[in-house]
Every structure is written in structure tokens, then in C-alpha cells.
Amino acid sequence: MRTVKLFQADAYRTEFEGRVVSCTPVGDAWAVVLNQTCFYPASGGQPSDAGTLGGAPVLDVRAESDGAIVHVVGAPISGTVVGQVDWNRRLDHMEQHTGQHLLSAAFMHQFEAETVSWHLGAEASTVDVSMDSLSADQAEELELTCNQMIRSGLPVHAHLVAPEDVQRYPLRKPPTVEGPIRIIEIEGYDWSPCGGTHVRNIGELGLIKIKNWERYKRGVRVTFLAGQRALRDYLALDRMTRELSRRLSIGVAELPRWTDRTQEELNSLRKRVRTQQEALLTEEAERLLADARRVGPARVVRQSFGGRPVDELRLLAAKVAAAPGCVAVFGTRGALPQLILHRATDLRLDVGQILKEVLPILDGKGGGSPIQAQGGGSRPDRLEEALDAAVARIAEALRQ
């Protein structure tokens, strides 16, 4: 049985009475079919409506191939029930879907770019268009065109057309369904077959905003906001820039220049810090090498550290290993101990293999190359034992 789609006759209607035609258990829920409904089922890139049916929350709405619309609820219902559609969700979907029609039409009119697909997301929507690229100037041109069209307040019409009469309409894309075709028209500007819900005129959108775009497959994916989503985005960005302006005691217009200047200063400071860190690590490596123990033909620096970043210790180990015939055997004290091994290039020694042999002491794992290796474990109480074991295996390997 086909369900009468009240939402196509009036997308602004949110309350209705429907007679239960069937109620079938589906897992822990119930699939309910009514003789008529205001609930839009997920299709054509638009998510389903939400709301209540007989006071019970509607968990999902889907369309079946025979024309029936299934409402998924948590308990069985029967007889005649009152349905209530969540208006805020419905209006949001109407705004995004109408915004998509307007944006897709603008792409076609200005760049002859077809819309391949679109998706209405919880936070933002996307359209995939058949373009090799999209420039910032082109995106701004589209945005200005769409918002100028919005100010014109063109009506949005829905036409139900017999298949043989479809050719009378300059459709932006061909229909994909059989039988009568529902065509959404932005008066005199765009005609597109569509079964979704839309606002009465594009002036109700208020605003459309292109947020970003990227190459996607063989086209361009454009992310946009329409209606209240675009307004909320503007309010959030305006609030953020005003707060930044207040914190920094500068005008909003000065924020980009302040950011550029601060970034330059930060890059300069980072460079100075790296230079100073390099010098300090070189000095520390020399001190450690002065106390290195002789192990066969090599000098081994065995040291455990606490409270130092692993990246920094890797650099220190590399400086130790830069000296001919030297090996760094480092460990970090803490809840998750780390082992770092690094040897000079003139030694015949596979520190990656040695690391694998001693990591079980820490209940750890890791890896690396014959020259440098690193791993971590979960037994900080056995760190010193693991370091000693690594030195012992180095001595054994060098004797072979």
C-alpha cells in the first residue's frame, strides 16, 4: 500500500492524524505503516524527519519500494494516531535542501558545472560538482550570486508532472524515477526533479555561505551552510573575532596583521630555541662521552633520564653516536619507560636486534634499524635491569 505523502503537499505542516495500516516487530522496535504521513523518509541526500507518533519517539523513517513509508518506533501502536514532526529539524532540512538547489543552479548557470551528488550533514552540507578546480574568486562570485537571488525572494513551486510532459521543463538533471515526476522550480531560474521538502521562496533562506572546497575524485566538493546554519556560523565567528579583539586590545581589522607579525616572531623564537638547544645538547653529549665506559672496541654511554621529552633524548643519543666508536644506551624513567639505542656508523652492531632482545624485560615493544632503535614498556621498576642487559648484549655482540 502506498502512503499518502502529506509533506509534499505542505512542507510546513507538522501535525496530522494517520491510521495504522500495519505494525510489525523488527528486532527491539516496531515498523509502523500509516495510510498518510507528514514524516519525510530519508532519500535523495536528505535525512529523515524526527518527532513523535502517538506520543512515542520516531526512531527512523524510511521508504519502501512499494510506496509505503515505514515509521520505526519503540512500542506497538494501533488505530488512529497523532503524528508530530520536529519542526526545527524539518525547517533546517528545508533550508539546506533549497540552498542546495540554488547553489547547484548557480554552478550550472555560471560554470556549466553539473551537480553529481549532494549530502545533507548534521553540521554542514556538501555538493560534488563536475569541475576541475574552483578558485576563491569563483567561490565568492557564486556566493554573491546566490545571496543576490535570495534577496529577490523568488517563489519555490512544486509541480507534479506526467512522464510525457516532463520535456516541457528545462530540467537541470533528468528524473530517475518512473511514473509522475515531482519538479521543484525556483521560479524562472531552476527546475529539478526532487521529492524533498523546501521553503516557499528562497528569500526565507536569508543567507547561504560557502565554507570551503576541495578536489574530490574527479570533481570538486563544496561545503556550504544555508539559512539558520549560516546565520549561527556568522554569529559564532563574529563573537570569536570580537573576543580576540578584546583580549589583544586591537581592532578586529588589525587581527590578520597582528597574526602575521606574531607568527614571524614565533618562528624567529623557535629558530633561536633550536639553535640554543643544539648547543646545549652538544655540550651535554661531550660531558656524557667523557664518562663513557669502555666496552671492547666501543665506548658506551649508559644513562637513564627523568622528565625529558623522548624527541630531545633521541637528538642527544644521535650526538653521542656521532662520535666514532660510540653507542648511546638511554632510558626514560616514568610510568611508561622508553629505551633508546643509537650507535656510531663505524661499529658493526645491530642495535635493533639488541632492543628486541631486552624489551621483554619491560613487557614492551618497539623496533628500529641496526643503527638506531626505540621501544617502550610497562615495567618502570625494571628499567635499570633493561639498560644493563642492553650493555651486556652490546659487549657480547662486539666480541663476536
**394 and 303 in one domain?**
yes
Q: Tell me what pLDDT residue 176 has.
A: 81
- Of the three residues 40, 68, 85, the one that is the final residue of a domain is 85
Does 77 map to a domain? yes
Kindly state the cell numbers that stand for 254: 588589525
* Cβ(60)–Cβ(50) below 8 Å: no
Does 155 map to a domain? yes
**172 and 106 in one domain?**
yes
Q: Kindly report the CATH number assigned to the domain that includes residue 116.
A: 3.30.980.10
* Cβ(210)–Cβ(142) below 8 Å: yes
**152 and 79 in one domain?**
no
Q: Tell me what pLDDT residue 178 has.
A: 81
Tell me how many domains the chain contains. Answer: 3
Q: Tell me what pLDDT residue 400 has.
A: 72
In order of 94, 234, 258, 266, 322, the CA distances from 252 in angstroms are 34, 15, 10, 21, 51
Q: Tell me which residue range forms the domain holding 228.
A: 90-235
- Of the three residues 206, 235, 264, the one that is the final residue of a domain is 235
Greatest alpha-carbon pair distance for the chain in Å reads 94
**176 and 207 in one domain?**
yes
Residues of the chain with pLDDT under 50: none
d(CA 290, CA 146): 72
**294 and 178 in one domain?**
no
In order of 159, 162, 274, 330, the CA distances from 168 in angstroms are 12, 11, 71, 79
Does 308 map to a domain? yes
Does 318 map to a domain? yes
d(CA 385, CA 331): 11
CA angle (89, 48, 130) in 5-degree steps:
100
- Of the three residues 85, 114, 136, the one that is the final residue of a domain is 85
**115 and 75 in one domain?**
no
* Cβ(162)–Cβ(178) below 8 Å: no
Query: What is the β-pairing status of strands 190-193 and 208-216?
Result: unpaired
**194 and 118 in one domain?**
yes
* Cβ(58)–Cβ(73) below 8 Å: yes
Q: Kindly report the CATH number assigned to the domain that includes residue 46.
A: 2.40.30.130
Cell 566538493 -> residue: 221
pTM of the model: 0.76
* Cβ(99)–Cβ(124) below 8 Å: no
Residues 6+ apart with CB under 8 A from 265: none
